[in-house]
Amino acid sequence: MINFSYSKATDVRSAVNEISTAGDAKFLAGGTNLLDLMKIDVMTPGRVVDIKWLPLQAIEENEQGGLRLGALATNADTAYHNEVMKRYPLLSKAILAGASAQLRNMATDGGNLLQRTRCYYFYDKATPCNKREPGTGCSAINGFNRIHAILGHSEHCIATHPSDMAVALAALEATVNVTGLNGSRTIHIADFHRLPGDAPHIDSTLSADEIITSLDLPAKGFADHHMYLKVRDRNSYAFALVCHRE
């Protein structure tokens, strides 16, 4: 792991200021993905801004009668929250289908949306990867690509996003609340993640100086009419080959 500087953000504004002044800085929340990638030099931020102490853990009703999930609420706290299980069981089941209990206890809701692909070639620095190093090529296209994208890919990248939670949020038509140097804005979940196109290294429409503060669920979560089916090779800690929602 390369040397890097570390700082602890005291509030959202200071977090945004710190991330914007250091071009190669990254936010640290649960750390379940970032730290793994730093250990193998796939991600090499010169500065890590710790945000896990910010007051963004609350899960509470929003002004529209839906539910607001704090960006730093853990996946476990969200999945087992009484209101989530009662009103949005699809989301609870999707979260519990992902990762492992240990990871869900650490991973945050905002971080879940920002995790990087689990493509084998993205993790292997000995192979070309446009998502890791733009312009080098995509090893997966002619390589071992059983778990890669069938739809939405491009000639530059066929990697998939690994989030089960994002699939449920899309079905629920959730929104993502973010704050940056230019103020706050709301992004519909369907517009949050980017297709690879000719810039597969850019995963989302989040600006470099923005931080996710919360996620909003609508008032109605079709609790009585839902199903989440995850097709996978084993029953735990496996990324989906097909995600089906109804």
Where is average pLDDT lowest: 173-182, 202-211, 228-237?
228-237
Q: What is the mean pLDDT of residues 55-67?
A: 97
Per-residue pLDDT at 31? 97
State the chain's mean pLDDT as an integer.
Answer: 94
182 found inside a domain: yes
38 found inside a domain: no
226 found inside a domain: yes
Q: What percent of the chain has pLDDT over 90?
A: 86
Per-residue pLDDT at 15? 97
Q: What is the DSSP string of 107-156?
A: -BHHHHHHPPP--HHHH-TTS-BTTTSTTS-BTTTTS--TTS-SSS-BTT
Range of the domain at 180: 55-115+161-245
Q: What is the mean pLDDT of residues 125-149?
A: 96
Q: What percent of the chain has pLDDT over 70?
A: 97
> For 4-55, how does the pLDDT look when each residue is reduced to its tens digit (9 = 90+)?
999 999 999 999 999 998 879 999 999 999 999 999 999 999 999 999 999 9
> For 86-101, how does the pLDDT look when each residue is reduced to its tens digit (9 = 90+)?
999 999 999 999 989 9
Given a contact cutoff of 8 angstroms between Cβ atoms, the answer to whether 189 and 175 are in contact is: yes
- What is the pTM for the complete model shown? 0.94
Per-residue pLDDT at 240? 67
Per-residue pLDDT at 244? 43
Radius of gyration of the chain (CA): 18
1 found inside a domain: no
Strands 25-28 and 47-50: parallel
13 found inside a domain: no
Domain count, the chain: 1
3-state SS assignment for residue 160:
coil
Given a contact cutoff of 8 angstroms between Cβ atoms, the answer to whether 205 and 45 are in contact is: no
Q: What is the CATH number of the domain that holds 60?
A: 3.30.465.10
Per-residue pLDDT at 239? 76
pLDDT greater than 80 at residue 129: yes
19 found inside a domain: no
pLDDT greater than 50 at residue 246: no
100 found inside a domain: yes
189 found inside a domain: yes
Q: What is the mean pLDDT of residues 198-218?
A: 97
Per-residue pLDDT at 119? 95
pLDDT greater than 50 at residue 245: no
Of 235, 241, 195, nearest in space to 100 by CA: 235
If phi > 0 it is left, if psi is from -120 to 50 it is alpha, else beta; for residue 38 that is alpha
